[in-house]
Amino acid sequence: MSTLILGVKLVTLLAWTAFCAVGYLVLGVFGDVLFENSDLLVGLVGPEGVALVSQVIDLLKRLGLAAVAVFWFLGAAAIVIAGLLARRVFG
pTM of the predicted model over 0.75: yes
The Cα–Cα gap between 23 and 68 comes to: 7
CB 38 within 8 A of CB 57: yes
Of residues 1, 16, 7, 4, the one with CA closest to residue 79: 16
CB 53 within 8 A of CB 45: yes
> What pLDDT digit, counting tens, does each position of 20-63 carry?
999 999 999 998 998 888 878 767 777 778 888 888 889 999 99
* Number of structural domains the chain divides into: 1
For residue 18, give its domain range. 2-90
CB 9 within 8 A of CB 79: yes
Amino acid in position 54: S
